[in-house]
Amino acid sequence: MNLFAKIREQLNWSDPTYRIPFILFLFFLFLFLLMLIFIMLFVPTPFQEEGQFTIFIYCFSAMESVLEEAILPAFTSYWYESTGEEVKFIVCYSGSGLITNKIISRFKAQIVILASEIDAYQLSLKNIVNQNSWQDLPYGGKLCYSPMIL
């Protein structure tokens, strides 16, 4: 006798007091899943606004003031003048190695600004970016040169 037959025998499925609550449970479970799918498909998320783009950026923390005060506002106004659409940025500042590890573990990012070429090389080793693809960018992919004085 298999396991399901033993369970059916112990629950006495011919008795409606066992059958009706189970069927009701399955019905409400189905309704709950249907509502969850409806919410996921048709209710807009806070990042999806009409006529607005959202860009996810990971950046190493030394670039925070330059990015917030100069680069992002300049790009936002340039984009609005060019297309008439607004752009919104969600920026995460952290250490370059931590950013690299988060991207390797599949965190969502559309733009990544790293502190060293070693971090970019680690991303290429995991096949997240093409090997040495950053060298095809203007200035070899270098945004700035920051000397460290201790």
pLDDT at res. 1: 57
Residue 51 — very low, low, confident or very high, per pLDDT cuts 50/70/90? low
Task: Note the pLDDT tens digit of each residue in 9-37.
Answer: 666 666 666 677 778 888 898 999 998 88
Boundaries of every domain in the chain: 3-42, 52-141
Residues 47, 90 contacting (CB under 8 angstroms): yes
Virtual CA dihedral for 57, 63, 71, 121, nearest 10 degrees?
Answer: -50
In CATH, what class is 52-141? alpha beta
* DSSP output for 2-20: -HHHHHHHHHTTTSHHHHH
Q: Which two tokens stand for residue 62?
A: 């030394």
